[in-house]
Amino acid sequence: MKQKLITIVLSLIVTLMPLLVKPNPDYALLKFWVLILGGIALLILLLASYRELKIDKKDIILFVFLTLIFISALFSSNIFVSILGSTRFHAGFVTFIFFVCIYLAAKKFFHYEKIEEFLNILFYSSLFIGIFGILQNYISIPALSPLFDAGVCSTFGNSNYFGTYISLILPASIVLFILKESKKGFILSSVLFFNLLSSGTRSAWVSFGVIAILGIIYLVKQKNKVYFKRFGILSICFIAIYLLLMFLPMGAIVHSKSQSLKSDLDITLGVLLHKDGASSEKFLSTGSGRMDIWRICLNLVGKKPLFGCGPDNLRFGIVQNFFWDAFHYASQHSGSIINNAHNEYLHIAATMGIPALIVYLLFLGSILRGKLKYMFQDKVTFTLCLVIIGYLTQALFINYTLGIAPLFWMILGLADNPQFKDSLGNLLGERRYLK
C-alpha cells in the first residue's frame, strides 16, 4: 500500500509541477506548493517505510550533499531565504530536502505494473505543454498576460526553462519512436522540436546536438536497418519543421538566435586564439552576458569557497562582496540583477561552496559511472543515460528550475530502480539490462 501511495504522489508531482503556472511574475508559486505538499507526503511515507529503506553509498553521498547545503544556509547572507528560498526561484534548503525525497522514493519504491500507464501520463502532460508553447507563437490573450507576452515559454515563464524541459523530454520521445516505433513518441518529438527551435533557447540547442551525436553513435553500433529507417523519417520531419519555421513569423527569432550563437562562437575563438579585433569586453558580453556573470560568480567562489553565500542567495552575495561589478552589470543590461549563475554547477559552487559542488558531482558520477560503460550495449541503459546527459549538458548554461528539477531527480532515482528498468526493458523489447 505504501509503495502504491508513493508511486501516486510521485506521478502527481512530476505531472502537475510542469503544468501549473500562475500568470504573474512568480510563475513558480503553484509549482512550489505542489512540491511542498507532495514533498511532505513523500517524507511521511518514507519515514513510515524506514524498515524497507536500504541506504547505499550513493544515498550517503547525497546526505552529505544535503548536510553541506544546510551548513551553507546557516552561514548565508540571508538565512530565511536560504532555508525557504526566494520568491522567484524557491530554491532554498527545504526544496533540496524534497528533491532528495523524490530521488529516494523513485529509487526504492516507484512501481507501475504497466510502465505504459506512467509514460502515457507524461505524454499527455508534455503534449499539452508543447501545444501551449506553439500557441504562444501566434496568439495574444490580454487577460492572461504575461503568459502570452513572455515569448515561447509555455508554462515555465521563461524560454530558457522551457528549453530545459525540452532537453529532458525530447531525448526520451525520440528513443521511444526509433526503438519502439511509438506513434506518441513521434508526435511528441515533432511538437517539442518545433518548440526547441521557436523558443530560441541556445542551451537546449547545444544539448540537442550532443544527444544527436550520441544517438547516431548508438545507431551505427547497433547496425539495425529498421532503426536507421525510423531515424531517417524523424530527420525528414525535423528538417521540414525547420523549413516551415523559416517561412513563419517565428523564423526571424530562429535566424536571430542562430546568428547570435555563431557570433558568440566567433568572438570566443577570437579571444582564445588572440586574433586581431577580439576584445575582452566583447567576450564578456557573449551568451547574453553569461561570460560576465560567470566571471563575477567565479570571483564570488574565490571569496567564499567553503560554503558559498547560501542557497538562493546569489544576488545578496554578489551585491555584498562585488557591489561595483553588480552595478556595472546592471547598467549594461537595463538594470538586471544577477540572481542566478546561468550554470548549474557554478551556481552550486557560488551559493553552497566548492565542497558541495564536488559532492554533487560525485553523486552524479556514482550514478553514471557504471552505466556509461554499457551505454551503447542495451536499450535501457542507453535511454536513461541519454536523458540524463541531455539535462546535464544544458545545465552548463542554465540553472535548475522548480518545474523541471523534480522530474530530473526522479529520473536519477529510476536509473537505479530494478523494477522500473525491467518494465522499461520489456517495453523496448530488451529482456535484459546490463547496469
How far is Cα 207 from Cα 193, in angstroms, rounded to an integer? 12
Same structural domain for residues 40 and 171?
Answer: yes
Same structural domain for residues 194 and 93?
Answer: yes
* Domain of residue 189, residue span: 2-53+85-247+373-428
| 335 within domain boundaries | no
Tens digit of pLDDT at every position of the chain (435 positions): 788 999 999 999 999 999 988 777 777 888 999 999 999 999 999 999 888 888 899 999 999 999 999 999 999 989 999 999 988 889 999 999 999 999 999 999 999 988 899 999 999 999 999 999 988 877 766 555 666 666 788 888 888 899 999 999 999 999 999 999 999 999 999 999 999 998 888 889 999 999 999 999 999 999 999 999 999 999 999 999 988 887 766 555 555 555 555 555 554 444 444 454 444 454 455 545 678 899 999 999 999 999 999 999 999 999 998 888 877 877 776 567 888 899 999 999 999 999 999 999 999 999 999 899 889 989 999 999 999 999 999 999 988 888 899 999 999 999 999 999 999 998 888 765 555
Beta-strand ranges (E) seen in 327-416 are none
| 340 within domain boundaries | no
How far is Cα 179 from Cα 181, in angstroms, rounded to an integer? 6
Same structural domain for residues 198 and 267?
Answer: no
Under 8 Å between Cβ of 410 and 103: yes
| 149 within domain boundaries | yes
Same structural domain for residues 168 and 199?
Answer: yes
Same structural domain for residues 234 and 260?
Answer: no
Q: Look at residue 274 and give its three-state secondary structure.
A: coil
Matching residue, cell 502532460: 125
Question: Which pairs from 245-251 meet CB under 8 Å and 24+ separation?
Answer: 245/194, 245/197, 245/198, 248/137, 249/137, 249/138, 250/137, 250/152, 250/197, 250/198
3-state helix, strand, coil in the chain (%, to 5): 75, 0, 25
Same structural domain for residues 128 and 234?
Answer: yes
Under 8 Å between Cβ of 347 and 399: yes
Q: Sort residue 97 into left (φ over 0), alpha (ψ -120 to 50) or beta.
A: alpha
Same structural domain for residues 160 and 272?
Answer: no
Same structural domain for residues 143 and 261?
Answer: no
Matching residue, cell 561552496: 353
Same structural domain for residues 173 and 270?
Answer: no
| 417 within domain boundaries | yes
Record the pTM: 0.90
| 324 within domain boundaries | no
| 265 within domain boundaries | yes
Same structural domain for residues 157 and 241?
Answer: yes
How far is Cα 359 from Cα 361, in angstroms, rounded to an integer? 5
| 195 within domain boundaries | yes
Same structural domain for residues 274 and 390?
Answer: no
Same structural domain for residues 270 and 168?
Answer: no
Domain count of the chain?
2
| 14 within domain boundaries | yes
